[in-house]
Amino acid sequence: MTAEGQTEVWVVSACSGDSLALAKLLAAYHPALRARAEARMDPAVRARTGPEDVLQEVYTQVFRHMEQFEDRGAESFLSWVYTILDRKLIDARRAAHRNVRDVDREVPGLASPDAQSYWNLLDHVYADSLTPSRVVRRQEAMNAILASLSDLSDAHRQVLQLRFLDGLSVAEAAGRLGKTEAAVVALTQRALKALRESMDRLGEFTHGP
């Protein structure tokens, strides 16, 4: 089977809910996506983050919204992900040039690096909903995320620790875990989903205004 034929098989499987096929698909396109991110990343954004971290946000959105993709033939999946990436880069450029202050610095008692790291993780868990800071009290959120992390498997807890609490890039986490970057991306998506489900069961969070 040709490389193009294999990616089409993965696309069909991913559209049917196969997360492993989706991870393989993203891994196959990762070099092209990274090259596009590097070429289009604003210098102000580059000073604050790297292509891999932007791509992690892209992959998070792809995993959560795969049902929105319409398969229209060869390269349609890559074009769809390119669109998501371009929007992320635009948003990042706007944020960088607005010089937005970190939201935790505006909340008394939660300005420590540890609190900021946990809030970064929480923002990733609820990346497709309203900003959590607008709908929950900060200390309640901190208590909920700490309780939920304790319910996760060791593998899920470890990858979230490395990526969002220790602030490692995808490549650095892959090196620490002895896994490929694609495997870390897939594991991260599963861990975020598990954490979100655990937090939802606690009943601490609402998704409306």
Cβ neighbourhood burial of 29 (10 Å; 0-12, 13-18, 19+): middle
Least confident of 49-58, 63-72, 73-82, 110-119: 110-119
**180 three-class SS:** coil
- Which residue's entry shows tokens 């609402």? 206
The pLDDT value recorded for residue 81 is 95
CA 151 to chain centre: 20
Whole-number CA gyration radius for the chain = 18
Q: Which of 66, 207, 61, 197 is nearest to 134 (CA)?
A: 207
The count of residues in the chain is 209
The whole-angstrom separation of Cα 28 and Cα 25 is: 5
Contact 21, 13 (CB under 8 A): yes
Domains of the chain (ranges; CATH) run: 3-98 (1.10.1740.10), 103-202 (1.10.10.10)
* pLDDT band for position 90 (cuts 50, 70, 90): very high
- Measured between alpha carbons, how far apart are the two ends of the chain, in Å? 50
pLDDT for position 197: 83
Say if residue 12's pLDDT is above 80. yes
Tell me the pLDDT tens digit for each residue of 162-209.
Answer: 888 778 888 999 999 999 998 999 999 899 888 888 877 765 443 433
**Contact status, residue 132 vs residue 122, Cβ threshold 8 Å:** yes
pLDDT tens readout for residues 132-154: 333 334 445 555 666 677 678 88
Q: Residue 118: what pLDDT?
A: 55
146 vs 96: CA distance, rounded Å: 30
CA 38 – CA 192 distance, rounded (Å): 26
> What is the predicted pLDDT for the residue at 121?
64
Q: What is the pLDDT of residue 133?
A: 39
Q: What is the per-residue pLDDT for 89?
A: 93
Using the 8-state DSSP alphabet, how is residue 89 labeled? H
Q: Which runs of consecutive H residues, i.e. helices, occur in 47-75? A: 51-64
Amino acid at 92: A
Max Cα distance, the chain (Å): 59
